[in-house]
Amino acid sequence: MRPAGRVRRWAVTGPAGRLRPWAVDAGLALLVQAAMTMPFVVPRDPALPPATWTAYGLTALTVLPLVWRRRAPVGVLLAILATSALYELAVNGPGQPLPYAGLVIVYTIAALSPPRTRVAVAAMLPVIITGSVWLNTRSARELLFALFVFGAAYALGRLTDTRQRYAAARERARIAREMHDILSHAVSLMVVQAEAGPVAVRTAPERAEAAFDAISETGREAMAQLRGMLGVLREDTGAAPPRAPQPDTGELPALLERVRRSGLDVSYEVTGAARALPPALGATVYRVVQEALTNTVKHAAARAATVRLAYGEDEVEVTVTDDGRGSRGVGGGHGLTGVRERAAAHGGRAVCGPGPDGRGFRVAVSLPLGGGVRA
């Protein structure tokens, strides 16, 4: 019986259904080989030497190293140069309209290699290209064309690397924001309940039991959300991790009830024609309310707060106000920054500042209903 780890290693797709790198590279090599086969199957001028199997075999040897382009890109480049030179010097085979294998490996080096390696390759490219053109046609026109296409391949590789790094940074910021919202909210409620517990034990034992139940429930929920998030990040497991749906506006009453158990009197108002929101938008509304109430519990020393959800024709507005210490009670963390980032991601806006008549604190977020999540 074959070990499960080996089966997973050679599986074509990963846990998230994406093609594994080796499968992508093998498919790319086959595609390049198909392109390089065209001159061998298209009828040739009778005055030209016939295409031979030897020449075709050398083209296959030129393409085959691309399967290892991620593991040893410089070694693959040297192998392609060697087989290409042998093709030019030893056989009289059909020419290729483009140096497909060379372009692919130059792109790969520019996109995946460390700075020292890619700079060294970029410096050697003009010399290599000039030597190749000298072996082939010795034409200035071909030289300029080759310099252009290889320069474009290198530039495309650098752009791809920059885009991927930027996307990774955005993803790290998103994960940090989600974890901040989950942990900050849960820990704040647990601290408030824990601080009230000893007093309740002496004065109202039944309230103490409720406080400890609330601490336990809040902790379990936070652990469940963290397990779901960390499970999604573990892509090296054999199966795709279970993914619970993101919270949305339907879960706001439960959120407010947990906050009420901390001693804060929270009221909830809904105006307009309430309707289901897209998942990403609903999650943003939930997180905005969660973060605003977390700040109130942690910093405002407030007795009451109001959550208003107003549905308009083109946008939904979320407003959270409290009667606490106002801007003096706002913490210096990342919570309000996260609220603004979430609003901006949907093309909306967030205003955070003093409440009505300068009392308390107010978080107001407007989100367009028609806009998708932006980069």
**pLDDT per residue as tens digits for the range 85-119:** 888 887 877 888 888 999 999 999 999 999 999 99
pLDDT band at 207 (very low <50, low <70, confident <90, very high): low
* Mean pLDDT score across all residues of the chain: 81
Does the pLDDT value for residue 253 go beyond 80? yes
pLDDT band at 242 (very low <50, low <70, confident <90, very high): very low
117-120 contacts at long range (C-beta below 8 A, 24 or more positions apart): 117/73, 117/74, 118/157, 118/158
Sign of the torsion formed by the C-alpha atoms of 165, 171, 173 and 176: negative
pTM (two decimals): 0.61
Q: What confidence score (pLDDT) does residue 308 get?
A: 95
Token reading at 252: 């706001």
pLDDT band at 240 (very low <50, low <70, confident <90, very high): very low
Cβ of 285: how many Cβ atoms within 10 Å? 22
The CA distance from 116 to 98, in Å, is 27
The DSSP-derived string for 145-182 is HHHHHHHHHHHHHHHHHHHHHHHHHHHHHHHHHHHHHH
**Poorest-pLDDT segment among 122-126, 210-214, 270-274, 367-371:** 210-214
Q: What is the mean pLDDT of residues 19-23?
A: 81
Does the pLDDT value for residue 269 go beyond 80? yes
Tell me which DSSP letter residue 20 carries: P
> In the chain, what are the domain boundaries?
17-167, 251-375
Residue 136 has phi, psi (to 5 degrees) of: -100, -80
The CA distance from 267 to 303, in Å, is 11
* CATH domain 251-375 topology: Heat Shock Protein 90 (3.30.565)
